C-alpha cells in the first residue's frame, strides 16, 4: 500500500479559504464593487463635459475647471479599470 502519510498541515484550511471567511474582506468587496461600477461609467461620461469647455475656450476659471475635470476623469479611469473583470 502506497498511501501517502497525512501531515497535520493537510487538515488546515488554505489561506484563500480563510480570506473568504473574513468579514472585512466581504465588506470591502461590498463597497468596492459599486464604487468600481460608478467610477467606470463616470470615466465614460466625463469626456462629454470637456466639449463645452473646449468650444468656449479655456480662460481663467474655465482652465481650472478643465484641469479639475481631467483629474477626476483620470481618477475614475484608475478606480473603474477593474470593473467587469
Cβ pair 69, 46 in contact under 8 A: yes
| pLDDT for residue 60 | 85
Confirm whether pTM is higher than 0.75: no
Question: Is the model's pLDDT at 19 over the cut of 70?
Answer: no
Rounded to an integer, what distance in angstroms lies between the CA atom of residue 73 and that of residue 42?
Answer: 7
pLDDT at 26: 67
Amino acid at each position: 500500500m502506497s498511501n501517502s502519510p497525512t501531515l497535520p498541515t493537510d487538515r488546515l484550511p488554505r489561506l484563500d479559504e480563510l480570506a473568504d471567511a473574513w468579514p472585512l474582506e466581504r465588506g470591502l468587496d461590498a463597497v468596492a464593487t459599486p464604487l468600481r461600477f460608478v467610477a467606470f461609467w463616470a470615466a465614460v461620461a466625463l469626456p462629454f463635459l470637456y466639449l463645452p469647455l473646449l468650444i468656449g475656450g479655456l480662460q481663467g476659471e474655465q482652465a481650472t475647471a478643465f484641469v479639475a475635470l481631467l483629474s477626476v476623469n483620470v481618477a475614475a479611469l484608475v478606480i473603474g479599470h477593474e470593473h467587469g473583470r
